[in-house]
Every structure is written in C-alpha cells, then in structure tokens.
Amino acid sequence: MPSIGSVQITSDGLVRARGIRYATASRFAAPQPLAWDGVRSSERGPACPQPPSSLAAVVGNSVEGLSFDEHCHVLSVTAPADASGLPVMVWFHGGAYVTGSGESTKYDASLLAAEGVVVVSVSYRLGVFGYLQDNLGLLDQLTALRWVRDNISAFGGDPSNVTAFGQSAGADSVYALMLVDTENLFHRAILQSAPLGTRSPERADMTAALRSSISVGASTSAEDVLAAQTAAVAEVGPKFAPSGGMPFAPVLDEVDLAAAASRVELLVGHTADDGSPYVQSREHWEAVTELVFALGARDLARDWAAAGGQVATYTFGWAPAGAPLGSCHCMDLPFLFDPDGWRGAGMLAGQEPDPVLAKTMRGVWTGFARNGMDALPSRSLEFGV
C-alpha cells in the first residue's frame, strides 16, 4: 500500500495519523501549544491516568491497549487520502470527565471519513489533572482546536468549516467550548447526550469542596492522585446531587449565549433511554433521562433559537431486541464509529447495529458538517424511534 510520510494509505483509501502532540503541560499548569513537525505516526498516543469506567459493563473497556500518561495532549486524524478542502469534524470523547480517550479503538472514524470529511479525535486531561482548578481540560481542548485551525489543511481539511462534536462529557465540553470560544475556532456543533442537567449554580461550590478535600502536589504519584480523587468524589459528590453525578467539569462564568448562537449552528439530542445505566428501575431511568439529558437538550434548543441561532434536535431510539437497558447512554456511538470496536459491549446484547440506520446517521452527521442546517431533512429528527 502507498504511504504519506510514515502513515500507510489503507485499502479503503484513508490516511490515519495517530498520537500527534498538540501541546505540553506541567501538572496543574496551562497547556503550551506545540508546533507540528509534520510527522504522521501510526502509533496511538497515551490516555490520561484514570480509574476504571463505571460503564465498562455497558460499553466495554474504552482504553484497552492504551498507555497512560499525564502528558496526554494528543490527537489523531482520519482523512481520505485525496482530501482537499473537506469539512472537518473534531471529536471530544465522553467518560464523565474522568475516563476515556480520543485514541480509543471505539472511536475509529474510518466510516465517517469515508463520507468525505476529515475527522480529528482529541484527548485531554481528566479528573483532578484537568478540572480541579483553572479549567485545564477545557484549555487543552481549545489548544487542540487551534492546532486544527493551523494544521488541518495539511490533511486536506478546511479550517473555515469545522464542526465540534461529542457525546456525554464530550458533548458537555462542546457546550462549554461554544460559550468560551472567541476565536471562531469552529462553526457547527453536535451535542450527543450532553448531561446538561448536571449543570447548576452549585457546580462552583462543588468544585471548591473538591479542592478542599484533595491535597496533591506536583510530585504526588498519579496513582495517589487517583486514590485522592476517588475518596473525594465519594465524600463530596452525594452532597451536590444531581451535579455530584459528574463532579468534574468546566466551571463557567457568566456567558453570552446570543454571541455563541450567532456564530454556531447547533444539532442537539439524546438517546431515548440515556438514564438507564445509572439506576435500577425503568421508572427511575425515565426520570434520569428526562432530568439529566432530555430537558437540558430541549431548553438549550429553545434558548438557542430565542437568541437568534440556528438549531435542530434529534432523538435516537434504536435498541437491540431484548436489550435490558433499551436505547441507553452511548447506544448511538456504534452507529457513527466503526462497529467492530463495540463488539462485546453489554448494551448491544450480542447483536449488531442496524447498518442501514448507521449509514443514515453518518450521512446526517457529515451532511450537517458540510452544509449545516441546509443539509438536514428536518429540524426535529428521529433515528430508530
């Protein structure tokens, strides 16, 4: 197979460059951008040190095979080999701001890129490393977006046509990025199952309480940092429900929604049973779905439109026959990314994602990235409902 630099062009006509460092940072310090040296590696970069995922039984191990390092400021690019001026989609992974990595095999973007877009997957600092103070994880994400602006044309991407998209904490990240970006780093956004119901005025108080409970320094081992994080979350989290369900996240000051709405086209939605992995009974999971995910999506769409912004909503309802959790949190992900990475995930109950629906979703996502609202068949979309 031919190659570009050290990266092979695969039989499906794609280039994959992994583990590109976009920044460096000392512990608890702001990221310092790194100039790209043009090297395109095929090796996956490290994930931020993290505890085991609470959703591992549902989605599987999202960091299997990855190394761990606080210096996790890496991104990967997947693009058609002949790309030129293509739309760019920048992916921010979920994991409650404490687990996951953009380098995960679960986020293989081959099928999205084959639709004629350039996909960038971003890794950023998590938990205590990224969100105990100064919104460092959010600063990491902004630095990655600047890297995209400055370098993505080398992969055939158009830096003037960038869509930020993410799921769960990744969608919450995109929400925060829309509100703090003053550089027009991206132009469209897709929020998948953003837990906006965990955002409340008490988040700043919870972050302050976590800071008081966690005493770590520059020389504390990563293992001890994670142990302190786990202990503090167990102590502090229950005092701040529902925000305590996601104790680490960016703390936002007063924001100008109208300014964000004027520059970003928005697609926002959720799965029909987002709350099911977090509670026992169907009655309770419906309540969690509504309060944590659905209500926030509706309110954001309403406020975006009221501020003069362009917005569409969606609901994802497909579920495998007999699946105990229904169309649960993360169920939409195998419909966008390579489903091979999701084989064995408990939520699929041994079944395969519907390939026709998956093709439709990828077409909608990439069409929106290409042409915004004009590409959508409706302002209120349903997938597998």
- Which CATH number goes with the domain that contains 44? 3.40.50.1820
Q: Residue 310 is encoded by which pair of tokens?
A: 């362009």
Strands 86-92 and 118-122, by their bridges, are: parallel
What digits encode the pLDDT tens for the residues 289-331? Answer: 999 999 999 999 999 999 999 999 999 999 999 888 999 999 9
Q: Can you say how many angstroms the Cα of residue 66 is from the centroid of all Cα atoms in its chain? A: 18
Rounded Cα–Cα distance for residues 331 and 334 (Å): 7
Helix axes 136-151, 169-180, angle to 10 degrees: 70
- The structure's pTM equals 0.96
Could you tell me where the DSSP H helices lie in 79-180? 110-113, 127-131, 136-151, 169-180
Domains contained in the chain, number? 1
Q: Across-strand partners of 76?
A: 121
User: What's at 259, amino acid-wise?
Assistant: A
Domain that holds residue 73: 3-383
What digits encode the pLDDT tens for the residues 239-259? Answer: 988 888 899 999 998 778 999
Compute CA distances 249 → 167, 176, 267, whole Å. 14, 9, 21
Which residues does 97 contact at the CB level (< 8 Å), separation at least 6? 126, 127, 130, 131, 137, 169, 172, 246, 248, 249
Which residues does 239 contact at the CB level (< 8 Å), separation at least 6? 206, 209
Whether residue 6 has pLDDT greater than 80: no
